[in-house]
Amino acid sequence: MNTLKLFICLVLSVIVLGVAAPASAQGRWWQNERYKKELALAADQVTRIEGIYQTAQPVLKAQKDAFDRREEKLSKVIADPKSDEAAVVQATDRLELARNEMNRSRTLMLFRIRRVLNDEQLAKLNAMHSHDRREGERRERERKKQNQ
């Protein structure tokens, strides 16, 4: 059960980091020297994680492109005065299917990455991501304060 909680934290951390994290925590954190050192990542772990990431990227990009096309199609259907409710429902269903496929692929990538880490590394990773997210939020608040 503890491992499941850690995995859920990792997934949520990565989702949040995609929106609000500083550059050092975004993207390929396993390539970042700070993360490598604090997590004590072995070279083979970095290689395996990079392989998982590289394998997933073409699929995720294609799914993101499909999602964007379906989102644009839905916007056009909604804007078209000739569209009926059935057309909007159909376009919405297609958009949500594309979103689901993209999220499923991303979750599987994160799950595979998680399996490369031991429980201690995963706990440290979650703590580091949490810290970086808080720091990013703090810097954003300061930036907004200075711009007022």
Residue 36, Cβ neighbours under 10 Å: how many? 16
Please tell me the pTM assigned to this model: 0.73
Buried b (16+ CB within 10 A) or exposed e, 62-74: ebeebbeebeeeb
pLDDT in tens, 62-116: 999 999 999 999 999 999 999 999 999 999 999 999 999 999 999 999 999 999 9
| Burial of residue 131 (number of CB atoms within 10 Å: 0-12, 13-18, 19+) | exposed
